[in-house]
Amino acid sequence: MKKIIIPLLAVGFSMSTIAQEHGHQHEPAPLDWFHQSIDNGTYGVNTKKAYDFLKETGRTPQTVIVGILDSGVDAEHEDLKEIMWVNQGEIAGNGLDDDQNGHIDDIHGWNFLGNADGTNVNGDNLEITRLYAQYRPKFEDLKERKIKKNIKKYPEEYETYLEGKKLIDENTIQNKAKLSELKAQREQFAVYESQFAIAFKDVKKLLKTETITADQLKDFIKENKIEDQRTYAALGMLYEAAEKAPNKTINLDEVQKGFNELLKADTQNLNDYINYLESKVKYHYNPDLNTRKTIGDDYDNKKDSNYGNNDVEGPDAMHGTHVAGLVAAVRNNGIGMDGVADNVQIMGVRVVPDGDERDKDVANGIIYAVDNGAKILNMSFGKKYSPDKSVVDDAIRYAEKKGVLLMHAAGNNGENLDLQPHYPVNVTKNDTIATNWITVGANTPYKDHLAADFSNYGSKTVDLFSPGTEIYSTIPDNQYKNLQGTSMATPIATGVAALVWSYYPELTVHELRDILLKSVNVYNGTVPTPTEKEKKPAQSFANLSTTGGVIDAYNAVKLADQFVKTKK
């Protein structure tokens, strides 16, 4: 599931607000903080220093294809279109499978969440909902004796059925109630907007000036009896703004403009939250939803890969486009933002709906990307259950055999993955460990609160951390936005991996992985333990992953350079 996006949904949030995490206050980090260096006191990935070092080596980079297994990628984005992978074996738009790879017109990748007619799936249920729907015929609408017999015969399925039923019932009730509340709040916001527009107009007439100081406003309020509540509230707002302004002086038009922009942003956040909750009701916790009817594949045949279409963007590509930009948005072109890696081609592989991804689609996505030349796969998704884990295990092993690196997001539940898996995982059949795998947690820019509150962690299961809070990147329609989550941390780490491999292509996947892990910036200081629930005791950041550090591009290319010289 694309649990990305730890949504900035709280009404009243604005980017100018002081960043706060559990009582710790910091000035907001710059938009490109994830590129910055620990030398500046910011736990970014040290991109500039890495490129400066590579320039001195005189090495000539080679192109690395990175597969973005995600919700979709806007292949026409101004900061991505130049670096999208193009299948040279296909002739665009001729309706033929020219390269005979089983996929017609797969120019920039493939979409496993659609059908041949071009219809795409957007929302889907959670895996626990699908399992509940699968198991409930054994435990519902039967004679009591038959139900008891099935409970005894299928105890694990019954336990999962009960968990699913509880989650569905609770979430449906809670989400519908919250939706009613938020929709009423949205209506109130519309009233606020019109009321304050009138109030500001009245205030300007009363004050008869464009600029005013806090003291002048204070005196005006004292000396005049303001009966209109809207006008009084507007004056109070202006006074507070003036108190915080340089020289305690404000321009009325600028304050009104700022208020309108803030209200607009809050309304958008509110709409995002409403859409998020509506997805939960309509898709995530809906056991009667069956999206495979739309796709039309033989779902029970887990080896079937002959389905989908070539629409790599799909109906909602914000998540995947954001991810792609972090890996490799065109650098130094003067627009938007810079990705971490140059000399990369982005292959779009759509396997993640608004809901939990299906194991079959994930396996097919991995195999497709590997077979078509991807050397690194970014997988910013995950879930609690994996009923068809074996097909994903086979795909992971296939990628390992082909020398492909898999980068996986740790997840955003503030949980210890040593105790609770976040699928897919690198532990495959017979408890063997895939050696082409890196699990990525999310860090903040700040040393005293380095682990993001939402990030999953694990001294045995998470390999390293990477910047994941307030990350600015590409979104569809030539736009850019801040998002946060391990979904953002992972493509930044993927970008570092691609950067190293493009300049040191002689490295094997195992050597590359080893270099990335050995070159992290280790931090042994005490930090708050990530959590979404009850507060946990603080602990050393070094205990939150196998390496105890944050990925560093400069350290990585320097170590790679040393390694290849020694290898010769």
What pLDDT, on the 0 to 100 scale, is given for residue 18? 24
The dihedral region occupied by 530, where left means phi > 0, alpha psi between -120 and 50, and beta the remainder, is beta
Lowest mean pLDDT among 56-65, 200-209, 473-482: 200-209
pTM value surpassing 0.85: yes
DSSP letter (8 states) at residue 547: S
What integer pLDDT is reported at residue 15 of this predicted model?
28
Separation in Å, CA 503 to CA 160, 343, 492, 500: 48, 9, 17, 6
pLDDT tens readout for residues 254-302? 888 888 888 888 888 899 899 999 999 999 999 999 999 999 999 999 9
Q: What is the pLDDT of residues 549-563, one digit of tens each?
A: 999 999 999 999 999
Tokens at 218, concatenated: 């204070």
Q: Which superfamily, per CATH, for 39-120+299-567?
A: Peptidase S8/S53 domain (3.40.50.200)
CA distance 214 to 194: 25
What is the C-alpha separation between 58 and 503, in angstroms, rounded?
10
Q: How many CA atoms lie within 13 A of 235 on its CB side?
A: 24
Question: How many whole angstroms separate alpha carbon 384 and alpha carbon 126?
Answer: 9
% of the chain at pLDDT higher than 90: 77
**Matching residue, tokens 């992971």:** 396
pLDDT the model gives residue 192: 75
Q: What is the pLDDT of residue 21?
A: 35
Three-class DSSP category at 555: helix
> If pLDDT is split at 50, 70 and 90, which confidence band does 1 have?
low
Domain ranges of the chain: 39-120+299-567
Question: Mean of the pLDDT values across residues 136-149?
Answer: 95
- Structure token digits, residue 277: 């909750």
Q: Under DSSP, is residue 485 helix (H, G, I), strand (E, B) or coil?
A: coil
Q: How far, in Å, CA of 376 to CA of 437, rounded?
A: 10
pLDDT of residue 137: 97
pLDDT in tens, 117-136: 999 999 999 999 999 999 99
The dihedral sign for the CA sequence 372, 374, 379, 380: negative
| pLDDT of 10 strictly over 50 | no
Predicted confidence (pLDDT) at residue 53 exceeds the cutoff of 50: yes
Q: Alpha-carbon distance 258 to 263, whole Å? A: 9
Residue type, 419: L
pLDDT per residue over 378-403, tens digit each?
999 999 999 999 999 999 999 999 99
Query: Cα separations (Å) of 317 from 341, 375, 473, 493?
Result: 21, 22, 13, 21
- Tens digit of pLDDT for each residue in 158-204? 999 999 999 999 999 999 999 999 999 888 888 877 877 887 788 88
Query: Is residue 8 pLDDT above 70, yes or no?
Result: no
Q: What single-letter amino acid sits at 550?
A: V
In tens, the pLDDT along 470-518 reads 999 999 999 999 999 999 999 999 999 999 999 999 999 999 999 999 9
Judge contact between 485 and 4, C-beta under 8 A. Answer: yes
